[in-house]
Structure 1
Amino acid sequence: MIGKARRPFALVLGLAGLLVSVVVTVVTRDLPAGGNDAGIGVVVAFAVAIVLGEWFLLLAPGFRGSAPMAMASAFGLALTTEVPEGHFVSYGAAFVLAVTAASMTVGTGTRVLAGREANIVETTGRLVAVAVVALLYREAHLGQSPGTPTHSDGLVPWQRALLMLGITMLALVADTLFTSVLRALSATANLRRTFVEEVRSSFAMSMAVAVTGVLIALAAPAMGIASLPLFLMPLVLTLFAFRRYVSIRATYLQSIRTLSRLTDAAGYTPSGHSERVAALSVRVGRELGLSERELLDLEYAALLHDIGQVALVEPIPGGATVLAAPADQRRIEADTVAIVRETGVFEGAARILEHQTTPYRQVRELGEEIPLTSRIVKVVNAYEDLTAGARSVRAREAAVERIYLGLGYEYDPRVVDALLTAIGTGADQG
């Protein structure tokens, strides 16, 4: 993932230059001139829309990053075959892919140079989706080669619309599968689970993108390029609404962080304990390939995992619940879940916290269903309790040694391995 830090200007220019060279070659070969063919203005309009769409990405915790304006515009470019007055758009799939790749590179490169976040895996996945649409519709269905416009595919309008919609949905599935495979491989996670979570987090937006791309192409023969801004307008409005939602969620998270500090202020836990558990839990969750939505619930749960301690008459020494008696741990867990459920808005976090003290042996020996996120909170909380916030090598080694004594009994070995990877990066130092 490309972070918010700036990347070398020469690298971005070099990549953009390479793609521009490819585009020039393909344009020279594919774009017909004269006759009843549409001009370069149609292509430029689509390219500009894709660049703007890549700039205005939808990024937020708990959601798969997407560029709905860019994807809908690219689908429109791949599906449009005619504009008013009998002008035909007769370029081939290679041309569509080259223009889309160059436009995405410009949009993504501009974000990087501006210090904004971007994701190479997700950008490549979008390009894969456009390639699927271009190949299936322009090459396989229309049999369209450069310079040979297709006047009719023999379908009535509603049949053509269903075909376009089916192809775009298949392309979006290909995009999701592509990104899921890469994420599962990078985190050694379960592919099926990763794919299902990706679909769940992006289904609604994917449907909107597919329908918009089809509408742009279907309206082009009557409206021309005016169909592009007209049908993109709902996605533009969605963008503003989503950004407002993200702002509210940021405020929401800040409120949760404030609530989580209640135990610190009351002297039940060391200062910053919950925030350290949350930050490390998210890193461990990423190592295990959790989806963005799961990571968001995990962060909420980790921030609130000790809130039940406020019901104690006497604080636990050092706030270390891992050193408390099992009965006391279960009582704190029950109080925590009751407080979290009382809010009425943290059900996902409550389900995680219901099992934060359950020993791993109940999964191994009894087959009990304990969420992976609960096992993460258990391991990370134990590590933070045992280090007491210290970051020295000796404190870390002593904490890991204690955790190893309960490996396979109290703690999930896979989660412990992910913890070792996370703390080994040095990201939690300082």
Structure 2
Amino acid sequence: MTLQIAVVALLAMVVGEAWRIAVPGVVRDAPLAQATAVALVVSTGWPSGEGDPNSLLGLLGPLALACLATVGVGVARRRWGSLRHDLARTVSTVVVAGVLARIGPGGARSLLERATTQEGDPAPLMALLLLVVAVVAVGVPVVARAAYEALRERGSLRATVGGHLVRHGPLALATASTAAVMALSLSDLGWPTFVLFLVPMALLQPAVARQRRIREAQRQTLFALSRLTDQAGLTAPGHAVRVARLAVPVAREAGVDDADLPDVEATALLHDVGQVGLWRPIPGGATVEISLRDQRRIAATGAAVLARTAELSRLAPLVADVGVPHHWAVERGDVAMASRVVRVISAYDDLTGTGTRLSGAHSPAEAVERILRATPYEYDPDVVDALIRHLVRTGVLGSTDLGRLRQLLPGSRAAASERAS
């Protein structure tokens, strides 16, 4: 029976590795392979349940099968670029699950020992503990990817991990629960367990892939629209993308909820679409150099364009309010933080980029200083302060620059920025 379970499990993992949820620009998941590997490594039904339940054979066997499936499919499909990451995900998932199931806290009995003896541990409790182990094992690669991304981009670890959990959490939870159920059933049902419980997940997988493709297509549409003004020569190349990449961490620094960050990114990507309606292009597309009246006209034109589309019409008010100076925003009281953030970051990129031909490009410190001199009349001081904190934390501004800029900041914000350095 052990050989039959091993063969069917290997086939299930090969199918799972070959049939990944592959979406361009999104991390590829293999829920079928993950669920099978975790179920195998935490089950008392394999190798045979006899002898020491903490035996390394119960860990090394599933690990070898999982690695064989990952490497075999990766080589056959020539996935040279992702093979290393796929193998690391497989190893980390199996090892974490196997270790947690075989090591008891503080010298107590391990989970597998308690499941084997069934002394004083009710079955529902064992099932919940098994589910916890599976959730942790499946979640480790997700958290590790998020931590690596945050370190590489010098972003917020908490926010990056939260974003990854939102995107991958539901599928990871379904994978973990399927693994736990299969582990509990394997000793009684044997190899048919994989067929019975992997079929529902196999039916779920196309729906998850389709949803991810739709979301990625919507995001790519925003990026394509943002390049419209670049291709027409109306804005500096990459201006909207640079604004979007900086606006998101600054908005997070300013206290914007993670759920609202996609709107910040979308507003940043589309904030200059209104320049397509200009009779005479702005030199370099730098709106920071033009009058408030012209800034508002560009923002209103962009909002009118977006209002004609069903999917993007909700962004029209945000784009329109990018042209509203802060002192008017205070009077209105309903200007969203997304618009205020994009207004500041767009000015910063205009001043530091190659697009500002009227006065030449500024250094980051000079750009922030010029923005500060127009704060709070033009720009929200809270957003400017968040920008400074982000630039200090990422090393763009040094202590010398901060010392000079501190004189232009209110005292409380200066202290906060100094602490961030």
| TM-score normalised by structure 1 residue count | 0.63
Q: 1:382 to 1:178 in 2, by over 3 A?
A: same
Cα-to-partner distance string for 1:194-215 (whole Å, 9 max, x where unaligned) = 2322222222112211111012
Q: Relative contact order (alpha carbons < 8 A, sep ≥ 6): 1 or 2 greater? A: 1
Aligned residues: 369
**Letter of the 1:269 counterpart:** L
Do the aligned residues in 2 keep the contact of 1:165 with 1:210 (CA within 8 Å)?
Answer: yes
Q: Which runs of 5+ in 1 are unaligned?
A: 1-37, 363-367, 422-430
Aligned to 1:80: 43
Shift of 1:344: 4.3
Do the aligned residues in 1 keep the contact of 2:298 with 2:323 (CA within 8 Å)?
Answer: no
Q: In 2, distance between residues paired with 1:370 and 1:208?
A: 35
Q: 1:56 to 1:264 in 2, by over 3 A?
A: same
Do the aligned residues in 2 keep the contact of 1:75 with 1:130 (CA within 8 Å)?
Answer: yes
Q: In 1, distance between residues paired with 2:121 and 2:313?
A: 49
Do the aligned residues in 2 keep the contact of 1:53 with 1:107 (CA within 8 Å)?
Answer: no
**Letter of the 2:350 counterpart:** A
Other structure's SS at 1:213 match: helix
Do the aligned residues in 2 keep the contact of 1:68 with 1:209 (CA within 8 Å)?
Answer: yes
Match status 1:378 vs 2:346: yes
Which one of the candidate residues 149, 169, 175 is aligned to 1:203?
Answer: 169
Aligned to 2:302: 336
**Letter of the 1:88 counterpart:** G
Shift of 1:70: 2.3
Q: In 2, distance between residues paired with 1:397 and 1:231?
A: 61
Aligned to 1:39: 2
Match status 1:223 vs 2:184: no
1:212-361 to structure 2, matched below 5 A, reads 212-249=178-215, 252=218, 255-256=221-222, 259-260=225-226, 263=229, 269=234, 273=237, 276-280=238-242, 300-310=266-276, 312=278, 315-337=281-303, 339-340=305-306, 343-346=309-312, 353=319
Shift of 1:177: 4.1
Q: Which runs of 5+ in 2 are unaligned?
A: 253-257, 329-334, 398-421
Do the aligned residues in 1 keep the contact of 2:43 with 2:184 (CA within 8 Å)?
Answer: yes
Shift of 1:72: 1.0
Cα-to-partner distance string for 1:224-274 (whole Å, 9 max, x where unaligned) = 112113312222233333343455456545654665566568x6825x94x
Match status 1:160 vs 2:126: yes
**Letter of the 1:118 counterpart:** S
Percent sequence identity over aligned pairs = 25
What value does the CA root-mean-square deviation take over the aligned residues? 5.1
Match status 1:169 vs 2:139: no
Cα-to-partner distance string for 1:329-387 (whole Å, 9 max, x where unaligned) = 2443354345435534348966975775688999xxxxx98459747962675269x52
Cα-to-partner distance string for 1:377-410 (whole Å, 9 max, x where unaligned) = 62675269x52499xxxx9966868736536667
| TM-score normalised by structure 2 residue count | 0.64
Match status 1:58 vs 2:24: no
Other structure's SS at 1:343 match: coil
Of residues 208-217 and 248-257 in structure 1, the stretch that sits farther from structure 2 once superposed is 248-257
Other structure's SS at 2:29 match: coil
Q: In 2, distance between residues paired with 1:196 and 1:138?
A: 29
